[in-house]
Each structure stands twice: as C-alpha cells, then as structure tokens.
Amino acid sequence: AIPKFAYKKGTTTLGFEFKGGIIIAVDSRATQGQYIASQTVQKVIEINNYLLGTMAGGAADCQYWERYLGMECRLWELRNNSRITIAAASKILSDIAWSQRNMDLSMGTMVAGWDKHGPSLYYVDNDGTRMKHKLFSVGSGSIYAYGVLDTGYHYDLEVEEACDLA
C-alpha cells in the first residue's frame, strides 16, 4: 500500500546575508486552512528600489502595511533629502505593528535591503517585535528551512552557492 503523507500547508520565507549581499526566498502558495487558494502569490513586496519585504501570515495585513511602509519611506526621503536606512524603515513598520497590536493583525515579515551601512535584514511581526540578524525564516515551514540553513549556511558563500541554498 502507498503510505499517505500529511502534507503541511502554509508559508515559508527565508532570508540571509552573505558576502555577496542578501538572498530572499519565498514559496508562492496561499492557503485558507486546508484549501490552497493560489499557487502564484507574490510574497516578496518591493517597498522601494533598495528595500524588500516578505509576507507570512495574513496576506492583506502584510501587503497593506508594507505598501504603507513604502509611502512612509518616500515621505522620509522627501523630508530629509536622503534615503531611509533599513533600520529606520524596519522601526517604522515595528512602530505601526505595535500601535495596532490589539487589532488582530497577522504579520510575520522580513525587511531586507542595502543602505549606506551595507546589507541589513530585520524581522518584524504583528506584536511590534523587531530583530536584526544575519538569517531568518518566517512562516509555518520555517523549522524546516532553519534545518537546511543550519547545515548549509556560512557567511562566505559565493552567489551561486547562496542561490542553491535558498
């Protein structure tokens, strides 16, 4: 008899810094409980030309607040006549999430990019938690992604090796 597998459904996003920059990798499936709603969801959101956000959790929450972050980053640039840093952009998103913490948001995001300080990768969630690190995985499949990253990740990866790992 053919064994039946209990497939896990949900999101897996990962990102890591390496000597060539930052790699972001995401799946493309959207689920609603056990129902697969779409196989072609864009879970990487361009906040601006040098800043990306990822989506895990409620698609509407992630898309809305990361697009709102894009507007806030543009306003920052107009007010200060300089590009916003990745740290400042992630702090804005964290402050927004903190202010909305009792509104049942569902958001687990990475904010990644390149600024005057080099590459940066931050994790921000719906409670306003904000962390900077060299690698993150977010979503229900993150434990599996961390298993792969634990065995294959090191900062000195070449671009091709980093792409293969992601």
DSSP labels, 58-109:
-HHHHHHHHHHHHHHHHHHHHHHSSPPPHHHHHHHHHHHHHHTTTS---BEE
Question: Is the per-residue pLDDT at 78 higher than 70?
Answer: yes
Minimum mean pLDDT range among 33-37, 86-90, 138-142: 33-37
Banded model confidence at residue 26, pLDDT cuts 50, 70, 90? confident
Q: Over the range 24-42, which residues count as b (16 or more CB within 10 Å of their CB) and which as e?
A: bbbbebbeeeeeeeeeebe
Average pLDDT rounded to a whole number, residues 23-29:
82
Residue 16, pLDDT score: 96
Mean pLDDT, rounded, for 44-71? 90
What is the pLDDT at residue 130? 96
Q: What is the predicted pLDDT for the residue at 37?
A: 62
Q: Region 145-152: what's the mean pLDDT? A: 91
Residue 95 has pLDDT above 80, yes or no: yes
User: Quick one: which of 130, 146, 41, 46 has its CA closest to 93?
Assistant: 130
Tokens 């927004």 sit on residue = 96
Q: Does pLDDT of 55 surpass 90?
A: no
Predicted pLDDT at 79? 97
- Cβ partners under 8 Å of residue 22, min gap 6: 15, 16, 112, 113, 114, 119, 120, 121
Residue range 136-154: average pLDDT?
90
Question: Is 151 known to be catalytic?
Answer: no
Lowest mean per-residue pLDDT among 55-59, 84-88, 127-131, 134-138: 55-59
Catalytic option among 11, 12, 54, 109: 11
Q: What is the pLDDT of residue 43?
A: 79
Give the predicted TM-score (pTM) of the model. Answer: 0.86
Confidence class of residue 39 from pLDDT cuts 50, 70 and 90? low
Give how far Cα 9 sits from Cα of 28, 29, 35, 104, 142, Å. Answer: 12, 9, 9, 21, 12
Q: How many CB atoms lie within 10 A of CB 98?
A: 14
pLDDT of residue 139: 86
Of residues 10 and 149, which shows the higher confidence score?
A: 149
